[in-house]
Amino acid sequence: MKKLISVIIPVKNGSNYLREALESLQAQGYPALRIIVVDDCSTDDTAAIASSYGCKVLSHTVCKGQVAAKNTGLAAAEGEYVIFMDHDDVMCPGALKVLCDSLEEDPSVCAAQAMVKDFISPEISQLPGTVVRSEPYYGLFTGAILIRKSVFDTIGPFSESRNTGEIIEWSTKMAANGFAIKKLDFVSTDRRIHNTNFGRTNRGTEFKDYASILRERLKIVRK
């Protein structure tokens, strides 16, 4: 019997790409899948779209940001495994099975990490100043890291004092607790590059949050 996976999608005003993300998840053919869409005060029909695909929809009444939305999804997650995915990305066929099999094969591993690959959204003709990586890479949550849900019982939820940088914080806590992350040599998700990527629209805040987290990380290393 397959272990239950909770997919958590934090989103605000995601009607432009959400359908494609949800269809890529349904196309996985994974029999034990729960999709949790956390709607962070959207003004479009994000919640209605998610509901039409049979997702569990959780709606914030006050805009809290994407880190808090991840925590809302975590609190409602069920099953053995958790994976986070952005509403504008597309999971590659068979990715969930490969990630899950990797954890099933090695109980000592607490998370399995695949790669992502950038693609420019088809409706975009150009994105001035944007560097699109031509090769796959590690380092993002979105549809790439399958985590044992029990990990969060130890390290706790994400810090909501910042709007970004949760991947660095998560990695630091994993290392501090001796949790093993297994890197897999395959692409699990196509990461969409477009005009309203969170990193593009929140670049100033993102850099400040990263700097703050890195300072705290250095303090831990020096102790």
Domains and CATH numbers, the chain: 5-155+173-195 (3.90.550.10)
For strand 5-11 and strand 33-39, is the pairing parallel, antiparallel, or unpaired? Answer: parallel
pLDDT for position 209: 45
What spatial distance separates the first Cα and last Cα of the chain, rounded to whole Å? 44
* Amino acid at the residue 133: R
pLDDT for position 197: 55
How many Å apart are CA 72 and CA 60, to the nearest integer?
Answer: 9
The residue among 1 and 148 whose pLDDT is bigger is 148
Place of tokens 């593009």: 200
pLDDT tens-digit profile of 135-154? Answer: 999 977 889 999 999 999 99
pLDDT tens-digit profile of 79-129? Answer: 999 999 999 999 999 999 999 999 999 999 999 999 999 998 887 766 666
Confidence band of 196 (pLDDT split at 50, 70, 90): low
Q: What is the DSSP secondary structure assignment for residue 161, as one 8-state letter? A: T
